[in-house]
Amino acid sequence: STITYVQAAGSRGGGMRRVPVGLRKPPLRIVVTGGAGFVGSHLVDKLIARGDSVIVIDNFFTGRKENLVHLFGNPRFELIRHDVIEPILLEVDQIYHLACPASPVHYKHNPIKTIKTNVMGTLNMLGLAKRIGARFLLTSTSEVYGDPLEHPQKETYWGHVNPIGVRSCYDEGKRTAETLAMDYHRGADVEVRIARIFNTYGPRMCIDDGRVVSNFVAQALRRQPMTVYGDGKQTRSFQYVSDLVDGLVTLMESEHIGPFNLGNPGEFTMLELAEVVKEIVDPTATIEFKPNTADDPHMRKPDITKAKESLNWEPKVPLREGLPLMVKDFRTRILDEHK
C-alpha cells in the first residue's frame, strides 16, 4: 500500500516529519467558553498540547487567569474577557460550551444570572455555531436527573426535577440548554454533542467553592472539621478531571450526538468520602454534622454503558488515585495563602 507523508502541523525546524496522511488531523480553531475555570482550563491544556488553536471566552465569575497563565505568550492561545450572555462574532471550527458556574454555592449566589447564562449564553453560542458551521459541544450535568427515582441513572431517564426550587436556575437551566442544542440540531442543522457530567474533582478547583470534595480537602488541610451535611448517607460518584477531559474530546470528535453520561460509577456516601480524605490527608481529621441544603439529591451514580459502547470511553482514575493529585495542588495553594 502507498502512504503519503505531509508536513506535520506545528513541527519545528522545517523538516518533514513522517506522519501518514489520514492519521493526523489538521490543526483546528476551537472556542472554549468557561475556559478559565476548573474543567475548562484542563481541556484547553489538552487541545493546545494536541496542536490546535484555542480562544477562551470567560467573564472570570468563577474562573481565574492563574489557571491559564502558563499559556500566555503562546501564539496559538487567546483569552477574551466576555460574558456569553452578550453576542460575539468569531470564526472557528469547534465550540466547547462550558461557561456556567458549577458549584451550588456559586450558582445560587445570583440565580437570575445563572439561568441567563444557561439560556441566553447557550443560545448565543448556538447562534454562533449556526452562522459559522462549527460543531458545538454542551457540558450538561447529572443534575438534569434531579433527585432521581431511577438508580443508577441512564441517559433515557427523564429526571425528577423541582422547577421552582433553589437549584432550578442550574438544573432547569441545563435542561433548557439541552433543548436548545437539540432544536438547533433539528431545526438549523448544527452539529451538536451533549455530555452529562457527573461530579468531577481535581487540581485547580476553587478552594472555597463549597463543593464537597474541595470543602473536605481544604478543611482537612487547614485542620478544621470536615462539614458533613445532613446524615451523610447521600451518595455521589466522583470523577477525576483528566478522565472527563478525555471523554469530552472523544465525544466532540465522534459521530454521536448523545446525550452521554460522563462520570465515574464508583459511588460513595459523604461519610465514606470523609473517611477517604482522612486516610489521604490527615488520620486525625474529624467531622462535624451540619443541616443539609434544600432539594439535595439523595443519590447519584452514572450508568456509563452508552459511552463505553459508542465512544469506547471509560474513566481510568479511581478516587484513591485522583484525590492525592488534588491534595498536592490544594496544599501548595493553601500554604501560599499564608505568605
Q: Which residues bind ligand UDP (CB under 6 A)?
A: 87-89, 104, 123-124, 127-128, 130-131, 199, 211-212, 215, 227-229, 234, 236, 270, 292-293, 296
Can you point out the beta strands (E) in the chain?
5-6, 19-20, 29-33, 53-58, 77-81, 94-97, 135-141, 192-197, 200-201, 226-229, 235-237, 239-240, 260-262, 267-269, 287-290
Residues 196 and 202 sit within 8 Å (Cβ to Cβ): no
Residue 121 binds ligand NAD, judged by CB under 6 A: yes
Residue closer to ligand UDP by CB (options 71, 232) is 232
Q: Which one of ligand NAD, ligand UDP, none interacts with residue 325, CB within 5 to 8 A by kind?
A: none
Residues 6 or more apart whose Cβ sits within 8 Å of residue 272: none
Residues 238 and 300 sit within 8 Å (Cβ to Cβ): no
Q: Grid coordinates 470528535 are at which residue?
A: 253
Nearest to 40 by CA among 100, 122, 83, 124: 100
Q: In sequence order, what are the beta bridge partners of 228?
A: 289
Three-state DSSP state, 111: helix
| Residue in 6, 9, 80, 85 binding ligand NAD, rule: CB under 6 A | 85
Residue 330 binds ligand NAD, judged by CB under 6 A: no
Three-state DSSP state, 84: coil
The pair phi, psi for residue 195, each rounded to 5°, is -110, 130
- Map residues 5-44 to x or -, x wherever contact with ligand NAD holds by CB under 6 A: ----------------------------xx-xxxxx----
Active-site residue set: 170
Residue closer to ligand UDP by CB (options 27, 225) is 225
Residue 141 binds ligand NAD, judged by CB under 6 A: yes
| Residue in 54, 100, 248, 285 binding ligand NAD, rule: CB under 6 A | 100
Q: How far is the CB of 114 from ligand NAD (least distance, A)?
A: 8
Q: Which one of ligand NAD, ligand UDP, none interacts with residue 139, CB within 5 to 8 A by kind?
A: ligand NAD
Binding site for ligand NAD (CB under 6 A): 33-34, 36-40, 57-63, 83-85, 98-102, 117, 121, 139, 141, 197, 199-200
